[in-house]
Structure formats: structure tokens, C-alpha cells
Amino acid sequence: MHPVIQWIVGQKMDCKEDKEPTMSEHGHEVKFTFRDAGADDLMDVLALLLHLGYPCPSHELAPVYRALLDDSHYRCILALVPGDDVVAGMVTFRTLPTLRLAGVQTTIEELVVLPPWRGLGLGSALVGLAMAVAESQGASRLEVITSEQRESTRRRFYEKVGLQRAMSRVYRLDLSQKKAVSPQADLESEKVNVLWGE
């Protein structure tokens, strides 16, 4: 078991304990601490999302971020370099009951390690942390949905940390773009409102 994950399990998933697991960088020890993100971490989370290719104005992200922090099914874990509290990486995941599994599934939603800290095993440690939490919550499956274009996908990162590629496809409809509504659509909307008694 990865020493960082062993520390997490030993601390009963309490990522706020003042412990310093280490990873080697060219013969030198690099120490990281792990903790749950809080409200004051918004700008760091924003910067991490930017590195993932998801730019978002802080005033739009803030209410979503606060809602997620209040969601008991959601975790946002930050990896920090001790001493100066520099955020080096993040993993976010959600654990929910799933009908088709007749059980619980954990889904990693975002995983990012900033460039200065890549190649040290921190990404693997963050995935391992999600695995450990999933197991502690009785999840029967851990999954990740990621882009085929990402470097981590090309490097087969997730296979290397123990996940298997699924024979699945993701279909998506972007509802965030406001489109002109036709009169027919307005009529259909009225029918739906009548059916629901609105």
C-alpha cells in the first residue's frame, strides 16, 4: 500500500491531522499534507481548475463550491507542501447509492497536480486516497470519466494505478448555452406545466 494512503487509513480518513507523508524527488524527500478543502480555499481551487482547462469566474464558482462543501456525499481533498502551505494538487469525488449496482459508487470528478509537483507519485496518492475513502464507505465501484485528449489518458495513468478501462461511452448535452425558444417549444412547455399542475 502507498505510504501516503497507509497514513490516511491509519488516521481514519481524518485529513486534518498534522502528519507529513513523504515522496522522493531525485533523492530528496518531498513532504505533503492532505486536508479537506474549506471555504477559504476557493481561489486555490479556481487555479487548479484552470490547470485542468476549466476557466470559471470566481463569482460563478463560489456558490457552486459552497454548495458542494455542504454536500455530505462530496469530498474535495487538497495536497499541500508543508511550511508555506502551497497547494500542490487536488482530488474531488462523490459517493452515491446507484440502482444498477444495487450498491454505492464513488466517482472521481477532478484530479489535478500542478506542474512543479508532477512525477512524484502525488497523483497516484490522490487516487489512492479516493479508493481508501470509497472502501471505507462501502462503495462497490470506483470510476473516473476523463477525456481521451488528456496527457494522463495517453500515459495510461489510470490503468497504472489499478483502474480498468470500461467499455462505455459518455453522451452529453450542453444545457448551459441559452438558445432561442421557438413558439412550438413554448407550447410544449405550457403542456408540461399543465401536466404538473403549475
The answer, as to whether pTM is greater than 0.85, is no
Give the pLDDT score at 154. 66
CB 69 within 8 A of CB 38: yes
118-122 mean pLDDT: 89
Q: Which amino acid is at 120?
A: L
Residue 198 exposure: Cα atoms within 13 Å on the Cβ side:
6
CB 30 within 8 A of CB 23: yes
Q: What are phi and psi of 183, to 5 degrees?
A: -55, -35
> What are the residues facing 81 on neighbouring strands?
86
Q: Which amino acid is at 181?
A: V
**pLDDT value at 23 more than 80:** no
**Percentage of the chain modeled with pLDDT above 90:** 49
Choice between 160 and 197, residue whose per-residue pLDDT is larger: 160
Give the pLDDT score at 11. 37
Summarize pLDDT for 67-96 with one digit per residue, the tens.
Answer: 999 999 999 999 998 777 899 999 999 999
**pLDDT value at 134 more than 60:** yes
* Mean pLDDT computed over every residue of the chain: 78
Q: Which three cell numbers stand for residue 131?
A: 479508493
116-121 mean pLDDT: 89
Domains and CATH numbers, the chain: 3-173 (3.40.630.30)
